[in-house]
A and B are shown apart, each in its own frame.
Chain A
Amino acid sequence: MKAFRIPRLLQFVLVPVVVYAVTRLIFDVLLGQLIPASLMTMYMFFVLAGTFMAFTFTEDGTRELVAPIKALVEDPSRKWLRNVVFVVLPLALGFYTYQLRTPKPEAPLELRSIHPAPPSTVKAYDKRFNLLTLENPYRKLQKEDPEAFAEMVAAGAAVYIENCQYCHGDKLDGRGPYAQGLNPVPANFQDVGTIAQLQESYLFWRIATGGPGLPKEAAPWISSMPIWQDFLSEEETWQVILYLYDYTGHAPRSWEHE
């Protein structure tokens, strides 16, 4: 008895369908973190491209793949099926396009960069700081005087708990009591993609000048971050930066080995 083999065209359709279903199952259901439609569309486009490549690199394989389509178009005995496909397929695609393009009550998608580029210099505490060369003045204590450094970190922790945790959370994960009321939600410092990627001068700029200090070049920015130089001293700002890195275990971006 001849072993059953799924027709090649059906295999070609099934591969992306199965990839899609499994991905949805894993991320949406099991992990509870859905994949956004914009990313899923890109993923599926290249899964389809890869499937096409794997199915068509030989002549025999390509012939077998397109044979049913060729037969549908050329075989006179499939006239009815052909007519049905030629009506249903454009209608389905048209309906999909219509659904895609119909305006919806939801706000349009927004391209938002989480890390706006800092200026080269910034004015804060009545001084001008060069962000290209600015360093945390207390960072050196980490090696030179660990006890004094620990005191600085503890002082930074107190500043953080008094001022920052309401939004950024007591675990520094961006899930403070007020976080859900903000859009976009506050930065998650535990994420390897936030402060671990940045120099301390960047944090100094963002904390000292807050939302209103964001660059004009890519306005409008949305940020609820207050101008902390109005509430914290320069020393407190550096202390809280030490605390952010100390608590999360990240190291600030630098170019020198220890």
Chain B
Amino acid sequence: MTRRSRYVTWAGLLLLFGAILWLLPIDLGQLDWQSALAADETTTDAATESDGAAEANGAAESPYAPAPKTTAADYPQIAGVNSRVVVWLVAQLHLWFAAFVLAVPIFVFIIEAIGMATREKRYDDMAYEFIKVSITAYSLTAILGGLLAFSLLVFYPDLFLYLSTIFKETMFYYALIFFAESACLYIYYYGWHWLQGPFKKWLHLSLGLLLNGVGTLLMFLANGWLTFMMSPAGVDPAGVFQGDTMVALHNYLWNPINLHRFVANIAYGGSVVGAYAAFKFLSARRAEERAHYDWMGYNANFIAICALLPLPFAGYYLSAEIYAYSQQMGITLMGGIFAWLFIIQAVLIGTLFLSANYYLWCGMGRSDGAVRYNHYIKYIAIVLVGAFLVWFTPHTLVLSNEELKALGGPYHKYLGPLGIMPAKNTAVNVMILFTALSFLIYRRANRVATANWVRMGNAIQVALFTTGIANIFFLGIYHGYFTNTVYKVAASIPQVLTTLVVIVISTLIDYFMYRGAKDVAPLHWGRVPGRSQYALFLLAVAFTWLMGLMGYIRSGIRQHWHVVDIMRDNSPDAFTPTLGYAANVVSVGTVIFMTMVIFVFWLAQVSGSKAEPSGYWKEQQA
């Protein structure tokens, strides 16, 4: 076998293995779909039976014990340490870092592939710089994961024992797969400059795919454990495990969480490396450095936006599934005590859209031709802010007594209807469409189309956006307010499809229309105001805060249950904290995470600097 064919074989095998690994959790999930559903039905139907009878049945048929019934004495305490806050913060920090280190290899893989396709080395260099940032974060992720496991063992031993009884195989293999993840990551990173060249590069890219496959599998496994705590499956009403781990893993909320986290991680990873690029841009002293990090920040923001656009839909799908699984959890989530945190969530999501758009608009300053489009920006800003106001308008208002009397009740006659999901879905689709429009304008800013069908192309695009928006409004208003909830929820799907069709077709039209277009002048990378870089920081901070907040809500809707309806939380902290207290804990976690991230950025910076102290080392004799 020649050297060339050996490389090709290895690369092919790795690519195939990576692809299989990536798709494995999804395929397994599909196979067990029916049994998982059946298990859910059994669980809910059986819940009407008395606890005692179920317990007796379960104990008689299964070798497994029922879920432990704990008392406050079963939760070890350490003086001066609040166990819930410790586990809460450590779990959240672990998740932030894990989201980052899982996301970076995804787009590093894509950027590396783009570099290979275009043969432009700058893409390869950028991909390498991204993965370099994630290496330090990777060890922090592992440390925090270990700390989380120890914290659970120390403070919640019965819960951990119960979960590890059900998930013993997956927990064991999880630890083993972590070795594979580390091996892939280290070879991928340290072998970057070694595996260069026509065939070695393919091998390296395949390794990247394998790394992503392993990482995604790890995330899916951990997701199965936490969603089991929300929508348990594979156990009877007393919590007696029925013996099929796959049923427990593939519980009702597993796939919605998998999808939501997969997309969110990419957006989050993009925003954090965008913050890194902004950090480097602002501290750069040379024009070339500024140009490089400006370009890197632009690409990171592009990745974040691409993943941000479908994210609200993935979130809505998750919420709808939570509601479908349990009316109780659904109402707690969006209509009950957590509804107010959802208003903050809406504000943060709107902030993400505003800052991403602001960054694009500021970025038009790189182009000498942007002045032709500047006057459109104010209209986009008006629409975005208008949609944003609808997006966060609450259904139930915070009212003073005087206002309550003046309105005649806690609902607003005209703004109240904006507080429910059809209005929110309509608003977010409009925000997404106008963000895409910002991007189209940004792309055009420096170019002059030479195709002879430009007028027609523009007219088609205007017609597409107009009819698309009209359709989104029709679906939102008619199905949202004049049909029953089945159609109301279902209408969100054609709304999403409308948005996607408009974005995809108008981008394609733009692509063909501007093929062979003339540049007004070379783009001036680095010619952006410092403000734009702070928009990138805002994007990363808002994302972090948002994830912390939503992570708390997702976990908090279990309320006084460790495992919903199966294992009750009897610890001294088995109460839902006040909204202010929860928001403070999340904010403290955000500050800790951002401090650690700055440390990671700093490490990436010092690793590239080299000091030459004079007179410190002995002169070496030749």
A: which residues have CB within 8 A of B? 27, 31, 33-39, 42-43, 46-47, 49-51, 53-54, 56-59, 62, 106-107, 109-121, 128, 130-133, 174-175, 183-185, 188, 191-193, 196-199, 201-202, 217-218, 250-258
Contact in complex: A114, B335 (CB < 8 Å): yes
Instruction: Give Cα distance in the complex from A131 to B326, angstroms.
Output: 9
Contact in complex: A36, B397 (CB < 8 Å): yes
**How many contacts A-B (CB < 8 Å)?**
194
Indicate whether B374 reaches chain A with its CB closer than 8 angstroms: yes
**Residues of A contacting B397 with CB < 8 Å?**
36, 38-39
Contact in complex: A256, B486 (CB < 8 Å): yes
Q: What are 10 sample pairs from A and B whose C-beta atoms fall under 8 A apart?
A: A50-B381, A50-B385, A53-B361, A57-B364, A117-B337, A118-B327, A133-B44, A133-B45, A184-B404, A185-B409
Contact in complex: A201, B327 (CB < 8 Å): yes
Contact in complex: B410, A185 (CB < 8 Å): yes
Contact in complex: A131, B327 (CB < 8 Å): yes
Contact in complex: A59, B377 (CB < 8 Å): no
Contact in complex: B339, A57 (CB < 8 Å): no
A225 to chain B, nearest CB (A): 15
Contact of A120 among B389, B402, B408, B565 (CB under 8 A): B565
B333 nearest CB neighbor, chain A only: A117
Given contacts A53-B381, A117-B336, A131-B328, 11 further A-B contacts (CB under 8 A): A31-B414, A34-B403, A38-B399, A49-B354, A54-B381, A59-B365, A118-B327, A185-B408, A218-B336, A253-B484, A256-B486
Indicate whether B30 reaches chain A with its CB closer than 8 angstroms: no
Instruction: Give Cα distance in the complex from A43 to B391, angstroms.
Output: 11
Contact in complex: A50, B354 (CB < 8 Å): yes
Indicate whether B514 reaches chain A with its CB closer than 8 angstroms: no
Contact in complex: B45, A36 (CB < 8 Å): no
Known contacts A114-B410, A192-B417, A57 near B326 by CB under 8 Å: no
**Residues of B contacting A33 with CB < 8 Å?**
407, 412-415
Contact in complex: A113, B381 (CB < 8 Å): no
Contact in complex: B385, A217 (CB < 8 Å): no
Instruction: Give Cα distance in the complex from A192 to B411, angstroms.
Output: 11
Contact in complex: A113, B485 (CB < 8 Å): no
Indicate whether B105 reaches chain A with its CB closer than 8 angstroms: no
Contact of A130 among B48, B389, B401 (CB under 8 A): B48
**Residues of B contacting A114 with CB < 8 Å?**
335, 395-396, 410-411
A202 nearest CB neighbor, chain B only: B327
A45 nearest CB neighbor, chain B only: B347
**Residues of A contacting B335 with CB < 8 Å?**
113-115, 117, 197
B399 nearest CB neighbor, chain A only: A36
Binding site of A, secondary structure by majority: helix, strand, loop or mixed? loop
**Residues of A contacting B324 with CB < 8 Å?**
255
**Residues of A contacting B48 with CB < 8 Å?**
121, 128, 130, 133
**Residues of A contacting B485 with CB < 8 Å?**
196-197, 251-254
Contact of B389 among A36, A43, A119 (CB under 8 A): A43
**Residues of A contacting B364 with CB < 8 Å?**
57-58
Indicate whether B251 reaches chain A with its CB closer than 8 angstroms: no
**Residues of B contacting A50 with CB < 8 Å?**
354, 381-382, 384-385, 388
Instruction: Give Cα distance in the complex from A118 to B329, angstroms.
Output: 9
**Residues of B contacting A193 with CB < 8 Å?**
395, 411, 416-417, 419-420
Contact of B396 among A112, A119, A121, A217 (CB under 8 A): A112
**Residues of B contacting A183 with CB < 8 Å?**
404
Contact in complex: A188, B409 (CB < 8 Å): yes
**Residues of B contacting A111 with CB < 8 Å?**
340, 398, 579
Known contacts A39-B394, A118-B331, A191-B416, A113 near B347 by CB under 8 Å: no
Indicate whether B392 reaches chain A with its CB closer than 8 angstroms: yes
**Residues of B contacting A199 with CB < 8 Å?**
327
Contact in complex: A184, B409 (CB < 8 Å): yes
Contact in complex: A54, B378 (CB < 8 Å): yes
Known contacts A130-B47, A185-B410, A217 near B559 by CB under 8 Å: yes
- Residue with the greatest number of chain A CB neighbours at <10 A, chosen from B48, B384, B402: B48
